[in-house]
Chains A and B, each alone.
Chain A
Amino acid sequence: MKILLIEDDVETADYIAQGLTEEGHVLRSFADGRDGLFSIKGEEWDLVIVDRMVPGMDGLNVVKALRCAKVKTPVLFLTALGGVGDRVNGLNAGGDDYLVKPFAFAELVARVNALGRRSHTIAAETVLRVGDLEMNLLNRAVTRNTVPIPLQPREFRLLEYLMRHAGKIVTRTMLLEHVWDFHFDPKTSVVETHISRLRAKLNRDEAPELIHTMRGAGYSLHAPS
């Protein structure tokens, strides 16, 4: 992916640039909000990562200006703020995701991949398929190898999120945010418990594992290869 980064802290910018480049992305970083905005408008990008507080122009205003100019490039906010209401402000300004510093690198990578262009094209689908697993979004039915699997509403949301990001890594935090609407870190194994229950339901009759645990990163749903 071609990613534009607006971040004034040189060390953080290097850390992000180096890591994402290793992941195979092409990165260009700007330390100034205005320069960044100018470049976003001038070229085609797959993703923009913006720090909330950068010189020149506040990150929030950069994104507002972007959305005003009808630029639809996905935006990931980075912030050291993490205060009450900051996340909502960021999303209201037109950001697509919000990551609070300090963050684990795996978290950033997972979110960058989740925000990639391709993920947004499947939104209109009515049936999600991964291997022999099928989810009908209209009648909310899930089948594996044509056998119906009854799911609780929360389990359905969890599986839907995993299927929409099939083949990609989703972190625990991403699941908490999108499936539970939890914007904090629970002290108990909320995600793990629900994942293991979902697995148990999906893997009846010795069926091969679909939800894979990526150590230190999160989970990934993909068909057995």
Chain B
Amino acid sequence: MRLPRFLRTTSFRLTLLYAGLFCASVLLLFGAIFWFGTGYVADQIDRSVSNEISEISAHAAVEGPDGFRQTVALYVKDAPAGVYYLLQDVSGRVLAGNIPAMDPIMGLRSWPRRKDGGNFPVGRHGVRGRGVSTAEGTYLFVGLDSVELDRMRALIAKAFLWGLAATIALALLGGTVMSLGLLRRVEAISQTSRRIVAGDLNRRIPMHGTNDEFDHLAASLNTMLDRIQGLMEGLQQVSSDIAHDLRTPLSRLRQRLELARRRAHSVDELHDALDSSILDVNAILETFAALLRIAQIEAHTHAVGLAPIDLSDMLGGMIDTYQSVAEERGQKLCGEIAPGLTISGDRELLPQLFSNLIENAMRHCAEGTTIVLRAACAATGIEVLVSDNGPGIPAALREKVFQRFFRLEHSRTTEGTGLGLTLARAIASLHGATMQLSDNQPGLRVQTIFPGEK
């Protein structure tokens, strides 16, 4: 038989554990009350008995010989209900008293309450008293009805049982309510996840707005789902982009080959067609290589194989390399590199990052443009800026250009894979750096901030 669901929850199991602990503490508490409470009442009785014995002894001493018998007889006559006296001689004969003879045992004596009347023949109550031997050699017993004590015991036992019952009932009720509450929240989460598994990817876990730990959990799970969805959409986008972007050069290649097959009349013409076909294939292979490289860089964990690198030196080399290339294109490249900048980086990948940024600026700007490469220590790390005064990128598209194959309308005709910035940012991320585009007024400014050398 399966238990109801809430009975199988962790919180209900915890509730049961706590109920057990509470019961144990109730038991301890009542035990203590029982012990001290009854001890106090018994003590009261014992004290009264002792007083009575002292009084009798004193009285008997005044009376002279046979004083005990007379005194006890006198006391018996006036005895209120529940007070017992017994004076018996050595042979066990009762000299005075209101109870039958008993074993002459000295000290504290008590008889428990007997429902059937018991062997103490004075009634149904328990009796507590003390036996002493008198100066005359007789045995004197004075006892008191311990009805108070019995009543107290019964009361405490009753209170204990009720308390225990209430504790258990409250614990179970509370546990059930708590379990049901928790179960509802957990159920919401698992229901959402089931929906997502079933294909409803936009589903998110509802928040209660109470800012409790469940809301926190829901928030983190939702963030995770957003990220996963983003990645998945990215992946879908990438695969369709790859298919789309490679179909164009492949169909061009096919056309060229077909045309050559039909039209080429000489070996030279065929060779020309083959040469351009090889160039087409190279372009396709280059795109694949770039995609693969991005994927590998993105899959790389941070700080693997990174070593301290003199960034100032590397950027100086970049300027040295590209200055003449820019001049050749009628552009200007200048640098403002602070000396002694060191970052931990990958010696092979970093040049590609800076090269991509500089070449991007060169290729997307017209003649006469000035490109500036700056590097300096900033508050947040080491900042490298590549800025130009060319056409720039509209604010709305500045994030999009980092996507694979995304190309601005006016640059569709220029050569390139549309992967340069994607690769640059992937390399930056590998270094724990952030890359952002902004307006250079006019032109574009690419800001890369590397974490400073630790």
Contact = CB atoms under 8 A, between A and B. Distances in A.
Interface stretch (B36-44, B246-254, B288-296): B288-296
Contacts of A145: none
Interface in A82-137: 82-85, 87-88, 100, 102, 104
Interface stretch (A14-22, A70-78, A162-170, A180-188): A180-188
A187 B328 contact: no
A154 to B, nearest CB: 6
B416 A187 contact: yes
B301 to A, nearest CB: 11
A188 B322 contact: yes
Interface in B332-355: 346-349, 351-352, 355
Contact of A194 (B324, B346, B351): B324
B415 interface: yes
B285 interface: yes
Contacts of A197: 324
**Do most interface residues of chain A lie in helix, strand or loop, or is the interface mixed?**
loop
Nearest to A82: B289
A225 interface: no
Nearest to B297: A84
Given A82-B292, A84-B296, A182-B355, A190 B321 contact: yes
Interface in A36-76: none
B73 interface: no
Nearest to A216: B275
Contacts of A185: 286
B330 to A, nearest CB: 13
A104 B363 CA distance: 26
B325 A183 contact: no
Contacts of B317: 154, 180
B227 interface: no
Contact of A193 (B282, B296, B328, B351): B328
A193 B325 contact: yes
Contacts of A184: 351-352, 355
A187 B324 contact: no
Contact of A87 (B324, B348, B351): B348
Contacts of A84: 293, 296-297, 300, 305, 346, 348-349
Contacts of A85: 304-305
B142 interface: no
B363 A188 contact: yes
Interface residues of B, number: 33
A139 interface: no
A146 interface: no
B362 interface: yes
A183 B348 contact: yes
Contacts of B348: 84, 87-88, 181, 183
A188 B362 contact: yes
Given A85-B305, A87-B348, A181-B351, A190 B322 contact: yes
Nearest to B275: A216
Interface in B271-289: 275, 282, 285-286, 289
Contacts of B324: 193-194, 197
A181 B328 CA distance: 22
Nearest to A83: B296
Given A82-B292, A102-B285, A193-B325, A187 B320 contact: no
Contacts of B351: 180-184
Interface in B301-335: 304-305, 317, 320-322, 324-325, 328-329
B416 A189 contact: no
B236 to A, nearest CB: 24
B359 interface: yes
A153 B319 CA distance: 13
A187 B352 CA distance: 11
B14 to A, nearest CB: 50
Interface string A155-185: 0000000000000000000000000111111
A154 B355 contact: no
A187 B363 contact: yes
B129 interface: no
Contacts of A183: 348, 351-352
Contacts of A216: 275
A164 to B, nearest CB: 20
B304 to A, nearest CB: 8
Contacts of B322: 188, 190
A181 B347 contact: yes
Interface string A1-41: 00000000000000000000000000000000000000000
B325 A189 contact: yes
Nearest to A181: B351
A189 B362 CA distance: 11
Contacts of B352: 182-184
A87 B362 CA distance: 29
Contacts of B285: 102
B408 to A, nearest CB: 16
Given A102-B285, A190-B325, A152 B320 contact: yes
A190 B362 CA distance: 12
B420 interface: yes
Contacts of B300: 84
**Which residue, of B292, B300, B347, B351, has the highest number of chain A Cβ atoms within 10 A?**
B351
Nearest to A84: B296
15 contacts: A84-B296, A84-B346, A85-B305, A180-B321, A181-B347, A183-B352, A184-B352, A184-B355, A185-B286, A186-B359, A187-B420, A188-B325, A190-B321, A193-B328, A194-B321
Interface of B: 275, 282, 285-286, 289, 292-293, 296-297, 300, 304-305, 317, 320-322, 324-325, 328-329, 346-349, 351-352, 355, 359, 362-363, 415-416, 420
> Lowest 9 A-B CB distances belong to which pairs?
A184-B352, A83-B296, A193-B325, A187-B359, A183-B348, A193-B328, A188-B359, A193-B324, A188-B325
